[in-house]
Amino acid sequence: MRSLTRVCRVGTVLSATALLLVVALVGLVAFVAEMHATWTWYFRMERTISAATPVAMWLLGSSLVFLFGTVATARDENG
């Protein structure tokens, strides 16, 4: 059971970190688009958002699944 708890904890941390990086990347592109204020950069921002949204949703889902797994296995481990 200990290895399953460790897998869930590592999975939670990795998926949450990847989600944070995806959101930060989208924010960076949006910031640069606002700094340039051209239609080309706004179009790049829209393409980035449309590409990152499914990735962010999968990472959010996997983070929640791993988090629930962490809670469930930690409860079994402690009592």
What is the tens place of the pLDDT at every residue in 21-76? 999 999 999 999 999 999 999 999 999 999 999 999 999 999 999 999 988 887 65
If DSSP codes are grouped into helix, strand and coil, which group holds residue 22? helix
User: Phi and psi dihedrals of 29, rounded to 5?
Assistant: -65, -40
Rounded Cα distance, 19 and 24, in Å? 9
Model confidence band, residue 1 (pLDDT cutoffs 50, 70, 90): low
8-state DSSP, 41: H
Model confidence band, residue 2 (pLDDT cutoffs 50, 70, 90): confident
